[in-house]
Amino acid sequence: MNKELFTPNKRKKTSYTEETIDRGINFDEISNLDEQLFEIECQREENRQEKERIKFEEQRIQLKEKELNEKEFKLDEKEFEIEDEKEKLRQLAEELNQTVSEIEIKTKQLEDKEKELASSQQKHLEKKKQLLEFEQQLKQREHDIKLSELTSLQSSLHSQPIQKQNQQLEPIQPLTIQQSPRALKQRKSIAPRMSVLPTTSSSSTISSKIPRKSLIPPTSTKENIPNSSFSLTQSSIKSKIPQRRPTILVPSTNSNSSGGIGQN
């Protein structure tokens, strides 16, 4: 008869065949052996489970170690990046310091240039002021020169004898107008009228026959006048010389002589 032995997890382990039983064998000892074998099998199963658990723990530990290694590598990379950033920041700080120093130098140069520009502007204003004063002096001198020339010209003109000027001018003849009694009866007035005078054609012929005398001083006075001031003072001199309008003399009824034009 076969006897089957099973482990605690109900797996079939061994099958035994029934042999002839030795009469000298103690069955109590055999039952103890079976119990010992069962205990051994239980120990083996426990050991196996423990090994599996240890193996699982080892795998988990290895996984943890791998994760830790990865984290450590990442930390190393971060540290390297941090060091690189520190180096970059240090270089930037040096560049900023250099830029600040250059800006300070340029600011100082600009201040110096502004001071130079202000001083040059002040000098320019002073020179401009001097130039304006010089121009004013020149204008004043020109005015004084013109005034002196004008006064000298006036004094030279007044110093000439009045008789010489009178000789150059013709004597003024008195205005004599004779009118017919018929004209007096028509207008019934003693005062003369322009309608009694002859026509314009006869008066124009009479005035054209007699040459006019010029009121400009003779050439001898022009030679004494400087060329620069003669053109400026000629108009003022002409305005100061008294002038008279020409008087047309009408011929009388008793004589055929014509009147003349007198100027002063």
Q: Are 169 and 213 in contact (CB under 8 A)?
A: yes
pLDDT of residue 133: 93
Q: Are 168 and 213 in contact (CB under 8 A)?
A: yes
Q: How many CB atoms lie within 10 A of CB 197?
A: 14
Q: Are 248 and 207 in contact (CB under 8 A)?
A: yes
- Is residue 9 over pLDDT 70? no
pLDDT of residue 157: 83
Range with the lowest mean pLDDT among 61-70, 89-98, 219-228? 219-228
Report the chain's mean pLDDT, rounded to a whole number. 70
% of the chain residues with pLDDT over 70: 48
DSSP structural state of residue 257: P
Q: How many CB atoms lie within 10 A of CB 3?
A: 10
- Is residue 105 over pLDDT 80? yes
State the alpha helices, DSSP H only, in the chain.
Answer: 27-159, 162-168, 181-187, 200-209, 219-224, 227-240
How would you classify residue 35: left for phi > 0, otherwise alpha for psi between -120 and 50, otherwise beta?
alpha
Range with the lowest mean pLDDT among 43-47, 131-135, 136-140, 175-179? 175-179
Beta bridge partners of 3: 16
